[in-house]
Amino acid sequence: MIAAGGPGPGVDALTEARALAEVVRVLEGLDAAAVGRVLEWAVKRYTATADGTASSARDVAASPPGPRRDEHDLAELYEVASPSTDGESVLVAAYWHQIIGRDEHLDSQSLNTDLKNLGHGIGNVTRACSSLINQKPALMIQLRKGGATKQARKQYRLTAAGIQRVREMLTRGDGRES
């Protein structure tokens, strides 16, 4: 699974990414409380402990969070999302860090390094981030700037609209129209 460290036996990464996109599509029409109930049920239904007994959502939440952090996971997400612009590429990398990796802050250097490692580096990642910030609604926000110079390191975070845009890209990447 993209979010938990690679597909299981007999499951290819693209099939698993498509399943994730389908889950996103189905949950989009529900309010937050309904999403919580559905996810809690799914965790209880599909999570088992080593002895084969079902574990609760609380047990899962108490376990160490986070995915296996390697470029392969980002590569799978990138392939399904199929970004077509520099801004979309940054969005996908930011989504991977913020949503899947649970990183609180994003920096342009990390995002571009990950994209370069995938063979999709962009010429000016800060400009791409600025274009995401300037869209209405903003897809990304700048949290802080570490220094007074124009080249100072900036930290970013995706907005709800940015997260939604990537989820739409994942749904489209699954062969569905959004």
Which letter does DSSP use for residue 65 in this model?
Answer: P
Name the band, by pLDDT with cuts 50, 70 and 90, for residue 90: very high
Give pairs for 98-106: CB < 8 Å, separation 24+. 98/157, 98/158, 98/163, 99/158, 99/163, 99/166, 100/2, 100/3, 100/67, 100/73, 101/66, 101/67, 101/69, 102/65, 102/66, 104/157, 105/143, 105/155, 105/156, 105/157, 106/155, 106/156, 106/157, 106/158
**What pLDDT digit, counting tens, does each position of 96-121 carry?**
999 888 888 898 889 999 999 999 98
Map out the domains of the chain with their CATH numbers: 2-62 (no CATH), 71-170 (1.10.10.10)
- Cβ-in-10-Å burial (0-12, 13-18, 19+) of 169 comes to buried
Q: What is the pLDDT of residue 176?
A: 45
- Strand arrangement, sheet containing 153-158: 106-107, 153-158, 140-146
Name the band, by pLDDT with cuts 50, 70 and 90, for residue 151: low
Phi, psi dihedrals of residue 153, rounded to the nearest 5°: -65, 135
Stronger pLDDT, 120 or 71, i.e. the higher one: 120
Q: What is the pLDDT of residue 100?
A: 84
pTM: 0.58
CA distance 158 to 164: 10
- Nearest alpha carbon to residue 114 among 91, 131, 132: 91
CA distance 33 to 25: 17
